[in-house]
Structure 1
Amino acid sequence: MQDPDTPHARGAAAAVIPAAAPGEGSPRLDRRRILGSAVEIIDRDGLRALTMRRLGAHLGVEAMAIYHHVPGREALLDGIVEVVVDELYGDPEVHLVSSDWARYLHELAHGVRRIALAHPQVFPLVATRPSAATWVRPPLRSLRWIDGFLLTLRQCGFSDRAATDAYQAFNSFLVGHLLLEVSQQGADIGPVDDPDPGKPRRSDLADYPLLAELAPQLAQDRSAEEFEETLQALIERLAADRAAGSTPAGPAIG
């Protein structure tokens, strides 16, 4: 059975704007095209291969020209994460909000998995890049998607506490599973020697009143409880599998 989330099954479609191929002239240089070119380099050769000089050569410009649109490597890495996560907007099977929370989570999880499988060398960056706020968890790290996630669950009857717990658990599941999956495909998930990104960037929540309201709850560290709950759910699932697969003992012989 073919995995429906793989690029091959999807016709190798990708939403990131690629750089122009050699011989296509010199299209206008802008931030979106720079980021698309950077994603191409990482997809092909890995994150360690990405330098401003190589990016400039890939675009057919001097490296200094890039700084007019992207101020430095840290901004470049942030932008790469942004455009890759934004591929969710172009996925016809994923919706920002929904009236069916279970279907919503199922489709959103598969949408993120499709991104990871399309960009296995980029996904570790999506999973580990410092977020704009401590409560923003990768890989679902876009403020708009977090807002849509919480709004969907709230409208479907989840309490604020249950909705924020779900956001944290959902992302922990995705990061753990998908990092393992892309590493099995050969993605480099080891640390990369990058300059200190400095202090976390502050999020502007003026357009997201729900996030501003729930930020204190999102910021609470429930790692221990979440680990224990997930472990217990796994044990219960295995117990159910064991019970379903067991057969009654036959009559004693003797």
Structure 2
Amino acid sequence: MDTRPDLAAKDSEPHLGGKLTRERMLACALEMVDRDGIDKLSMRGLARALGRDPMSLYRYAANKADLLDGVAETVLADLTVDATDTDWVAQLRSVAHKYRGIALTHPHVVPLLVTRPLATPLALRPRGTLRPLEDILALLTRAGFSGADALHIYRALFGFLHGHILNELQEIVENPDETDDLLRLGLHRLPLHEFPHIRGLASTLASYDGAAELERGLDILLAGLRTATTTAM
């Protein structure tokens, strides 16, 4: 089931006029990415939406790479972590659901969250994109984990989240009005003798619940991490 919000085209007029700031520029850039995707974002197009000369934007972003990092930082501002929570498992569950919510609200930004960090050394990334990592490390070290174990848990959690989100964003129904699950998903196009298992799971695939699937995955992941790290401590 496609649970993503309807990202209808947004009017850029609210960004015209007024004082230009980095925050205002990034908000407009995020709207453009939400509407048209990352590939369509350009400094020239952004300047047009803001009613500015393209050169004026370089005061707030050195280049497009810097602009993309800023967009990622903008959406990750909503990923808050309570590093003082005494229940680290419950807090990581909360973080996971917040991260999923961000991804579903801004599906075109997901490549920036999943692959963009590969292009930028850790110390050179925007500070806001590092805040969730710092806060989760603080949460886990307060819970008694070593720094190395805390980092292992963080990597395992976000490795799982990235895989889950990419899977969920692929769960698109081909014919929403069709009542037959095989036809709704377009699985009738697959030869039965070649893909019997996939076709046989049509009803399960059609009833996909992203939130429930995330919970099941977190149950397995966090239980395993708790057992492994408790044994090692």
Q: Distance in 2 between matches of 1:76 and 1:175?
A: 22
* Cα-to-partner distance string for 1:17-73 (whole Å, 9 max, x where unaligned): xx9852775121111111111110110011111111111111111212211221111
Counterpart residue number, 2:111: 124
Q: Distance in 2 between matches of 1:24 and 1:144?
A: 28
After alignment, is 107-116 or 157-166 more displaced? 157-166
Counterpart residue number, 2:95: 108
Q: Distance in 2 between matches of 1:136 and 1:105?
A: 26
Q: Distance in 2 between matches of 1:60 and 1:136?
A: 30
Matches within 5 A, 1:12-27: 21-22=12-13, 26-27=17-18
Counterpart residue number, 1:87: 78
Q: Rate the CA distance shift 1:69–1:114 in 2: closer, same or farther, 3 A.
A: same
Query: Which of 51, 54, 62 is the equivalent residue of 2:53?
Result: 62
Query: Which of 9, 21, 42 is the equivalent residue of 1:30?
Result: 21
- Answer yes or no: is 1:71 the counterpart of 2:71: no
Q: Distance in 2 between matches of 1:142 and 1:23?
A: 27
Provide the identity percentage. Answer: 36
Q: Rate the CA distance shift 1:47–1:21 in 2: closer, same or farther, 3 A.
A: closer
- What stretches of structure 1 of length at least 5 have no aligned partner? 13-18, 187-229, 238-254
Counterpart residue number, 1:172: 159
| C-alpha deviation, 1:104, in angstroms | 0.5
Q: Distance in 1 between matches of 2:52 and 2:89?
A: 47
Contact 1:98/1:104, CA 8 A, preserved across alignment: yes
TM-score normalised according to structure 1 size? 0.58
Contact 2:76/2:129, CA 8 A, preserved across alignment: yes
Counterpart residue number, 2:43: 52
Q: Runs (4+) of structure 1 moved beyond 4 Å?
A: 134-137
Q: Report how many residues are paired.
A: 172
2:91 partner amino acid = Y
Contact 1:116/1:178, CA 8 A, preserved across alignment: yes
2:133 partner amino acid = I
2:63 partner amino acid = G
* Cα-to-partner distance string for 1:171-214 (whole Å, 9 max, x where unaligned): 1001111122224459xxxxxxxxxxxxxxxxxxxxxxxxxxxx
Contact 1:97/1:149, CA 8 A, preserved across alignment: no
Q: Distance in 2 between matches of 1:76 and 1:24?
A: 17
Q: Distance in 2 between matches of 1:118 and 1:23?
A: 20
Contact 2:84/2:139, CA 8 A, preserved across alignment: yes
TM-score normalised according to structure 2 size? 0.63
Q: Distance in 1 between matches of 2:76 and 2:159?
A: 16
Secondary structure, in 3 states, of the residue corresponding to 1:70? coil
2:149 partner amino acid = A
Q: Distance in 1 between matches of 2:58 and 2:124?
A: 27
| C-alpha deviation, 1:97, in angstroms | 3.8
Matches within 5 A, 1:125-144: 125-130=112-117, 132-133=120-121, 142-144=129-131
Please, what is the CA RMSD of the aligned residues?
Answer: 3.4
Query: Which of 177, 182, 187 is the equivalent residue of 2:169?
Result: 182
| C-alpha deviation, 1:120, in angstroms | 0.3
Q: Rate the CA distance shift 1:148–1:136 in 2: closer, same or farther, 3 A.
A: farther
Which of 1 and 2 has higher RCO (CA within 8 Å, sep 6+)? 2
- What stretches of structure 2 of length at least 5 have no aligned partner? 174-216, 225-233
